[in-house]
Structure 1
């Protein structure tokens, strides 16, 4: 399984993903689920993926190939005129990959994959999209300032309760780590390490990127601090009177 989040604040975009693809007593695999493309001063694109691993890897490989082979007939991530057109391009590639895989004897549902796309192209604003397995997509708004894919239900409550569009990037990182920590403690199919990418609005270059391993001091401090804070909040609640 997977858990990935893309979140928009007034200061820019922040992305986080886990790296576990299989879970079992003796079968745990780790693959990155975050891919970035950058033309400094011109565009930054970040893509998070969830779903069938073969599908997501095929989509990423095609996008990579076409961005490097300038003589190809296909459009490239590096020459789309807007983030909207970038979302359309990726949606078309998703449909192409699934259509090629499905005739092997299984339904297209077996090859499903979803994506979170975010970034900025010069002349436009930072934008964030959710791309469905069918290739269509939606864009985040003031009412929906973040997207989740994969195992999202355990980490969603803290995002809804604590999100503030004016929060700093540092606080946004802290918020996402709490969301991921809640998911990690509730579902074995989501696992460390966690990958994080920050993009500051209008910078047009990738910001800080970090991988949080199991023994990362900051991750442990947030995890332990959140657990202690929850226990303290619980004990401070009034008891039911007889």
Structure 2
């Protein structure tokens, strides 16, 4: 399974994904679900994927193929004139791949449902964040919903709802995303380490962070333990004041 989360506030954008893919308890693999592109001074883009792995890998490969072998009259995510156009290009690629392989996969009894989160910024435009569905249609994050989740989202959603708004600083967004992931890791075995993190601060048109967080990362372990202790202490305080 998968858990990916992306946050967009006035200060910047944060993307976090796990790497576990499984088809049963005895068939667990690791695959990258985050993909980044950066053209200094021009644009910065992150995508994260969930759902049918063969579909999403083919979509990413098609997008990269068009970048590597550009053709006259065909926009790529690195030539598009806006992030909205980038979302359209990703949606078009999703439709192409679904039409090419979807019916055969479905006939084998497998689901082709897939999702892609794409976000970033292009020079002259603002930061934008989109959630693209299997049909190629998409929605955009806004002030009322400044984050998207795909995959196993339910365990990590409560902290985001309580903490994240459009004025949240980038460093707080990073912490919230990591704690959201930590809650998911503890409650769902189909989501697993290592993690991929990318961070973009507004109008910089570059990544301030693109890194992999391994399961032995000392900073992540310290954050996870501190969060567990805080929850236990909070529960103890609430229990002390509960009248039964």
Superposed pair shares fold, TM > 0.5: yes
Q: 1:200, CA displacement in angstroms?
A: 1.0
Q: Is the Cα–Cα contact under 8 Å of residues 49 and 113 in structure 1 kept in the other structure?
A: yes
* Equivalent-residue separation in structure 1 for 2:91 and 2:217 (angstroms): 36
Q: 1:240, CA displacement in angstroms?
A: 4.1
Q: CA RMSD in A?
A: 1.7
The residue that corresponds to 1:207 in the other structure is: 208
| Alignment partner of 1:84 is 2:84 | yes
The residue that corresponds to 1:51 in the other structure is: 51
Q: 1:211, CA displacement in angstroms?
A: 1.2
Question: SS of the residue aligned with 2:41?
Answer: coil
Q: Is the Cα–Cα contact under 8 Å of residues 23 and 188 in structure 1 kept in the other structure?
A: no
The residue that corresponds to 2:122 in the other structure is: 121
| Compared CA separation, residues 174 and 22, structure 1 to 2 (3 A) | same
Question: SS of the residue aligned with 1:88?
Answer: helix
Question: SS of the residue aligned with 2:154?
Answer: coil
- For structure 2, the 5+ residue unaligned runs are none
Alignment of 1:30-41 (within 5 A): 30-41=30-41
With normalisation by structure 2, the TM-score equals 0.94
Per-residue CA deviations over 1:29-66 (Å, capped at 9, x if unaligned) read 00110011121111111101000000010000000000
| Alignment partner of 1:185 is 2:180 | no
Name segments (4+ residues, structure 1) moved above 4 Å: none
* Equivalent-residue separation in structure 1 for 2:46 and 2:231 (angstroms): 33
- For structure 1, the 5+ residue unaligned runs are none
* Equivalent-residue separation in structure 2 for 1:189 and 1:72 (angstroms): 43
Give the number of equivalent residue pairs.
242
* Equivalent-residue separation in structure 1 for 2:151 and 2:113 (angstroms): 12
| Compared CA separation, residues 63 and 72, structure 1 to 2 (3 A) | farther
The residue that corresponds to 2:243 in the other structure is: 241
Question: SS of the residue aligned with 1:214?
Answer: coil
Q: 1:23, CA displacement in angstroms?
A: 6.0
